Structure 1
């Protein structure tokens, strides 16, 4: 059977196991042809192996990497001088192929997790030190005889050097917790074709913008929502030739404003780029307050706010996206009347509206449904909230008017019977099918044992 399947069929099958490395490892042993097909999948993002339990797999990956590209003698001597650590290579001198040439994704968080696992001493070597007190005498702890930090530092620097010099096909890179020393010493000459970039500090762009000029998507993932070293960001944005997506993520829940109510140190060049891109993601981040924004090319907008203070609501009201096709809310929603007005300004282009509904206190549900019915004739996928006692006729109008709708999710702010809803939908079209899901959620500011129950209905055509 295996011999009758061509490579295209096998690739289609293997794509279903793309994230299941354990299964893929077993499959590469079947035949040479399977090996050649699967190696790119396994080495596309090899440091995902850190998510597997135990350190043995990570250490095997380290051994494979340094067998292909051995440490220099000085580095090897430093590692071997550390108690209970020894550099090990595979017994064979040459690998089947250069596995590093298949790496397309490098994420510093996963990489550092991989290094941490590789730096740990084998558990059985700690046995002589398990008893810290013997006959009243305190024995040295393992940390006194095994310097994990030194090993981690050496491995981090030299493995990064190997990756940065030999991985020429990397297309996606995330630098969230990489050291300044590493940024200064490593070269990005081989990363000129990176398409997606995520950074934790803008200062990282100091070196990257010289070599990476084909970025399609940049994610700025800061801890405070501010833009220190904004000159590096401006130079980077000016160098890009086809930037299409910007995601601004603030890991903090607070906003820092100046005396004019605007976000501090917001680069003007970034604002110009935002007004001319196709995809924008915002998390706990606000554009400068008190201005009108026409995002004339924007097609996809993702918004994440735990709450909507008045300034954020007012700024959202001043944003217009006439060509928007996808609108996603990952957390709470703005007032529904404000959301309805925003949707109306999409000029009928909206095809996907998804929202994570986190409570039951929604008002103006009728206004939202009316706006979707009138302003979204092309909508295909939808999730929304409904008051079934008041909005049933509006739901019928929506299903009739939005004839391209394939599936949508309803969350009721009051009790809604599944069989009643199913009967109502079948009166419109017998092909509609309802799947009921009972959900629990704890709202912010409540005690851990205070959960709200609500009904979610997935409706498919």
Structure 2
């Protein structure tokens, strides 16, 4: 019993050290028992340790290649591909691939590139399938896979064991065929997070693959263009609406019919990014206006045309934690005013806010600070082209915002006087935790020594936690984190 307790405790400790590879590696060197416990955790996702991986990737790839079975080695040898492994003197102690939770094309591409550098004349198409077979046949705990190959991976030995436990799958749609998707759907049916890149038009294999997933919670669709509307894809989203909690569509939302929107009653995260002037945007506005998302917590929208975002917010039942609405080219001032008013009335739990605002919206901003007492970050952008004094905004931040607010972003001509900045930082010093403040502006007055001296003074006093105005060089015209 004690032995099992010690083992369980060590696993918990080692898992806590997962983001500290140096300490975890030291644990491996203590004794064989610790090594056996810590090694699977260290090798769960080697790409997490970027600093180590980038320095030792050659050894890493050699170690992976050393695990190739004799049949693969002989096949490659017959095709005049000789594998030289100077850093591996004997068979590794562990089958490290068995520990991996992520299969990334970076592994495969890295191995091929390394061998290609060693031999100028090299047919990589001969090696790629053997490496995929190596990973698929040995990796029994894969939870994430980036599918970016023409290889018939679902037909390889071990595919069922490897892919049946996948929870996150990314698919490069321009490379993966409809036939391959039908094949994968036979063994991979428990995906919770699905990301499809470069979608275009309807595809029966993709529709079938999405349809067969038993508990799809997150779907991200990146479209190649907005020429063709994918009606079948829209219909399958509607069929999966009961389990979907997160939906991301970019950069052309009009590539989908929006008829599924009212069905997304359990959605918590919605991100829409549209960069087209497609006439179908009117259909989207119609369905967004009638959709009710009572569980919505994250709303992120970027559209070229103006739209009444506040309608979704009003129906969220006060559950929203973050709103990020990017400026449109023809934003209606009345919509901005209504949006700010709606946020103030309907978002008591909000923690992060990114919106457009002007000086005439200061009363509404004050209401947001008064009613949204959990706000931690705010990002204001403005279309103001004049050098107007914005010190009043700093006063509102000081006097009306909650103690939780400590991160600011100002984009555009938010012009503050020296006195305004001094009073703001002075008031902040004894009442709030250190702040992160970022100003992106085209105004040169922020570059003058007197402004930078103010920032430096309060940075040295640890009133300001982060800003790089102090690193200003040449004609850089903004504060940036």
Q: Which range, TM-score by smaller chain?
A: 0.7 to 0.9
Q: Take 1:6 and 1:351, find their aligned partners in 2: how far apart are those partners?
A: 36
Deviation digits for residues 325-363 of structure 1 (CA, Å, limit 9, x no counterpart) = 11124xx34655522223223232212113455879673
Q: Take 1:168 and 1:318, find their aligned partners in 2: how far apart are those partners?
A: 43
The structural deviation recorded for 1:386 is: 1.2
Give SS of 1:281's match. strand
Equivalent position of 2:295 in the other structure: 323
Indicate the larger mover: 159-168 or 110-119: 110-119
Pair 1:438 & 2:439 matched: yes
Q: Take 1:67 and 1:47, find their aligned partners in 2: how far apart are those partners?
A: 19
Pair 1:385 & 2:384 matched: no
The structural deviation recorded for 1:95 is: 2.3
Q: Pick from 208, 233, 245: which aligns with 1:278? A: 245
Q: Take 1:69 and 1:359, find their aligned partners in 2: how far apart are those partners?
A: 56
Equivalent position of 1:77 in the other structure: 77
Equivalent position of 2:214 in the other structure: 241
Equivalent position of 1:147 in the other structure: 121
Pair 1:205 & 2:192 matched: no
The structural deviation recorded for 1:266 is: 3.8
Do the aligned partners of residues 304 and 407 (structure 1) sit closer, same or farther apart at CA in structure 2, a change above 3 Å counting? Answer: same
Equivalent position of 1:121 in the other structure: 117
Q: Take 1:207 and 1:340, find their aligned partners in 2: how far apart are those partners?
A: 43
Q: Take 1:268 and 1:359, find their aligned partners in 2: how far apart are those partners?
A: 31
Q: Pick from 248, 254, 275: which aligns with 1:306? A: 275
Deviation digits for residues 45-91 of structure 1 (CA, Å, limit 9, x no counterpart) = 3467899898x844422321233343325224236x34xx5432765
Do the aligned partners of residues 278 and 430 (structure 1) sit closer, same or farther apart at CA in structure 2, a change above 3 Å counting? Answer: closer
The structural deviation recorded for 1:246 is: 1.5
Equivalent position of 1:410 in the other structure: 380
Q: Take 1:430 and 1:399, find their aligned partners in 2: how far apart are those partners?
A: 7
Pair 1:175 & 2:129 matched: no
Do the aligned partners of residues 246 and 292 (structure 1) sit closer, same or farther apart at CA in structure 2, a change above 3 Å counting? Answer: closer
Asked whether the 8 Å contact 2:269–2:296 carries over to 1, the reply is: yes
Equivalent position of 1:350 in the other structure: 320
Equivalent position of 1:369 in the other structure: 340
Asked whether the 8 Å contact 2:100–2:141 carries over to 1, the reply is: yes
Question: What are the ranges of 5 or more consecutive residues in structure 2 without an aligned counterpart?
Answer: 1-8, 409-435, 443-474
- TM-score normalised by structure 1 residue count: 0.73
Aligned pair count reads 397
Do the aligned partners of residues 313 and 276 (structure 1) sit closer, same or farther apart at CA in structure 2, a change above 3 Å counting? Answer: farther
Q: Pick from 93, 96, 99: which aligns with 2:96? A: 99
- TM-score normalised by structure 2 residue count: 0.70
